[in-house]
Amino acid sequence: MKQLVVFGAGGHAKVVADIASVYYDDISFFVDAKSSDWCLGYPVSDDKEILEQKISEADFFVAIGNAKVRKRITMELSEKGANFATLIHPSAIIGKNVTIGQGTVVMPGAIINAESQIGQGCIINTSSSVDHDCKISNYVHISVGTHLCGTVMVSENTWIGAGATVSNNINICADCMIGAGAVVVKNIEEPGTYVGVPARKIG
């Protein structure tokens, strides 16, 4: 019986568990402090002894939206020997020679085109698209309905907001937040928050 422990029990974790149900027979949630015994019909635990037992028995998926928290928890579990799942919804379209790192989820309706590279712990969210030859670093979130044109590079911990568009041949540095609906037409070389059409730094 294939087991998966989903770390987290919020909205993102529910979607992750829904995708995981295609591949896993036994799914459970783990949280730091539980407010309910059940989530989406699956058991929720905050018992660290049970978590330690699961390390050798189950695969893990860290379903936390915040990139830095997602990375920290992944590193902590990795040091204990956890194995991480990669989850791809059956309706997603994955092109030729695409690589996808451990702990990444590709949501329903997402498209990743040929020769793109997706790092570890990424979220490729619902109906988003990553075109050919893109390089998405670890712990990046490509939000719902976002579109990356060809040969885009996005560095670690960056969040590209819902409905944003990134033009082709653009590089975006680490630790950025691209606002919903923004249009990125030139390289972003300084961490921060960028909004508007075209996208400009604020704050």
What b/e sequence results for 145-174 when a residue is b if at least 16 CB atoms lie within 10 Å of its CB, and e otherwise? bbbbbbbbbbbbbbbbbbbbbbeeebbbbe
Residue count of the chain:
203
Q: Hey, is 175 helix, strand or coil?
A: coil
Residues 146-154: contacts with CB under 8 Å, at least 24 apart: 150/113
132 given a catalytic annotation = yes
Q: Are 24 and 4 in contact (CB under 8 A)?
A: yes
Strands 83-84 and 59-62: parallel
CA–CA separation, 116 and 184 (whole Å): 19
CA–CA separation, 132 and 95 (whole Å): 8
Strand arrangement of the beta sheet that strand 141-142 belongs to: 87-88, 105-106, 123-124, 141-142, 159-160, 176-178, 192-195, 200-202
Q: Which of 12, 132, 141, 147 is catalytic?
A: 132
CA–CA separation, 154 and 127 (whole Å): 18
Task: List residues with catalytic annotation.
Answer: 132
